[in-house]
């Protein structure tokens, strides 16, 4: 067992002494997490708006207050004339202008109808759309409240208001996806590179000629990454929780155990890749192209599997991260336990077995 310990210690030296490896191991999780958290989500915070209130009554004041009080908007300017609107947009800071018509409260009370105009800066179409949706949402909820008080037959659909919240879902969704992608990448990429590096350097010849057994070499290579992968998983969960407020509803222990299972699966995939390739470059290419793209595109991470063409949906079944994402979503967001994720867990165990068996069969105790 001393031989084995010496081997694992050597692996840690390789990892801690290589700056690139360290960056990938510890920089990538944090960077990816922040990237996906801040860049890819469409959530808007404190967008500058201007309000032009021709009425200035109790209703418009209350509406303005509610809009500005929400964390999405920040009141940049109060306008007095219509002609100011274009100027405000041209300056570029203000993304939306809300115009209340004159005698707003009066009209609303008497006719049950009042007009508000929402102008968005469509040079950024997505932002504009989202801002308009938010604003409508706030107005709707106010009118809904009025409705319950006065029971006036106003045509409003409160459901729409609720639906306009895909942004929040996005924030929650990327955490499971990012964990899956990072663990997959780091574990598979790093092990496949570290094994092929020994082949390239010629040290594999020496390891093979030594009394070390094949499984000792494989397990020794993998063990440090199980440990580091686990640290990564924890980092991502903590970042998700504290920076982005993504909750962990279910059992943390179950979540960590499932993560370790997924790490082991990714590692066995990495070993498989390395037994099939002889150079670091090819191993890296295979890991990047064959693992990263499917993980992003076919795992349900960003694009829902249900919306894909049938052929791609079948392809999704053989993308292991898909199952891990389902597990993580269930445990983290829905707070469900093992009884809801056992099927996916079994599938991942199955993948692990297949990859390990294949790599043990493929791993050569000789050179050719």
Q: Which residues bind another protein (CB under 8 A)?
A: 2-3, 5-7, 10, 13-14, 17-18, 201-203, 205-212, 365-368
Closest CA to 292 of 24, 9, 46, 67: 24
Smaller CB distance to another protein: residue 225 or 244?
A: 225
Find the shortest distance in angstroms from Cβ 262 to another protein. 29
Do the beta carbons of residue 46 and residue 73 sit within 8 Å? yes
Nearer to another protein, 24 or 292 (CB): 24
Query: In angstroms, what is the minimal distance from the CB of 14 to another protein?
Result: 6
Q: Name the residue nearer to another protein (CB basis): 4 or 164.
A: 4
Least CB distance to another protein at residue 356 (A):
23
The label of the residue with tokens 């079948």 reads 314
Q: Which residues, other chains included, contact 101 with Cβ-Cβ below 8 Å and sequence gap of 6+?
A: 54, 55, 107, 114, 115, 116, 117
Minimum distance from CB of 201 to another protein (Å)? 6
Q: Report residue 78: phi and psi, to 5°.
A: -105, 125
Closer residue to another protein (CB): 20 or 81 = 20
Cα–Cα distance between 143 and 155 in angstroms, integer?
10
Question: Cβ 277 to another protein, closest distance in Å?
Answer: 19
> From residue 198, how far is each of 41, 86, 204 by CA, in Å?
41, 65, 5
Task: Give backbone dihedrals phi and psi of 97, rounded to 5 degrees, phi first.
Answer: -125, 135
The Cα–Cα gap between 345 and 342 comes to: 5
Nearest CB to another protein, comparing residues 1 and 39: 1
Task: Specify the residue, 65 or 364, whose C-beta has the smaller distance to another protein.
Answer: 364
- In angstroms, the CA 47 to CA 68 distance is 10
**CA-CA distances (angstroms) from residue 205 to 5, 7, 96, 362?**
20, 15, 67, 16
> Side-chain half-sphere of 339: how many Cα atoms within 13 Å?
2
Q: Which is nearer to another protein, 195 or 269 (CB)?
A: 195
CB 93 within 8 A of CB 121: no
3-class secondary structure, 97: strand
DSSP element (H, E) containing 267? helix 252-276
* C-beta of residue 254 within 8 angstroms of C-beta of residue 340: no
The residue (of 207 and 260) whose beta carbon lies closer to another protein is 207
Which residue's CB is nearer to another protein, number 18 or number 43?
Answer: 18
Shortest separation between residue 205's beta carbon and another protein, angstroms: 5
Least separation in angstroms between CB 219 and another protein: 14
Of 215, 193, 161, residue with least CA distance to 287: 193
Residue 208 beta carbon to another protein: minimum distance, rounded to whole angstroms: 6
Closest distance of CB 67 from another protein, Å: 59
């Amino acid at each position: 067992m001393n031989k084995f310990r010496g081997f694992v210690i050597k692996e840690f030296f390789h990892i801690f002494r290589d700056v690139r490896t360290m960056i990938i191991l510890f920089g990538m999780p944090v960077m990816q997490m922040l990237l996906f958290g801040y860049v890819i989500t469409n959530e808007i915070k404190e967008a500058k708006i201007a309000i032009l209130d021709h009425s200035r009554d109790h209703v418009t004041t209350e509406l303005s207050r509610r809009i500005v009080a929400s964390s999405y908007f920040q009141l940049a300017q109060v306008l007095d004339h219509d002609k100011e609107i274009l100027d405000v947009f041209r300056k570029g800071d203000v993304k939306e202008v809300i115009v209340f018509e004159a005698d707003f409260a009066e009209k609303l009370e008497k006719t049950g109808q009042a007009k508000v105009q929402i102008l968005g800066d469509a040079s950024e179409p997505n932002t504009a759309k989202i801002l308009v949706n938010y604003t409508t949402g706030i107005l709707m909820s106010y009118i809904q409240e009025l409705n319950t008080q006065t029971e006036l037959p106003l045509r409003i659909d409160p459901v729409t208001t609720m639906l306009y919240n895909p942004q929040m879902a996005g924030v929650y969704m990327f955490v499971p996806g990012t964990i899956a992608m990072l663990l997959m990448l780091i574990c598979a990429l790093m092990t496949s590179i570290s094994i092929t590096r020994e082949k390239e350097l010629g040290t594999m010849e020496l390891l093979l000629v030594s009394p070390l057994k094949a499984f000792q070499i494989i397990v020794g290579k993998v063990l440090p990454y199980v440990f580091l992968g686990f640290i990564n998983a924890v980092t991502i969960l903590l970042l998700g929780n504290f920076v982005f407020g993504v909750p962990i509803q279910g059992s943390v222990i179950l979540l960590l155990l499932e993560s370790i299972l997924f790490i082991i699966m990714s590692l066995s995939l990495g070993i498989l890749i390395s037994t099939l390739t002889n150079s670091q470059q090819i191993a890296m290419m295979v890991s990047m192209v064959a693992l990263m793209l499917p993980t992003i595109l076919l795992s349900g991470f960003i694009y829902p599997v249900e919306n894909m063409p049938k052929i791609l949906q079948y392809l999704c079944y053989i993308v292991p991260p898909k199952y891990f994402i389902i597990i993580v979503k269930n445990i983290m967001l829905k707070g469900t336990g093992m009884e809801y994720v056992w099927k996916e867990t079994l599938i991942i165990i199955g993948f692990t077995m297949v990859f390990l068996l294949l790599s043990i069969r493929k791993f050569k105790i000789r050179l050719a």
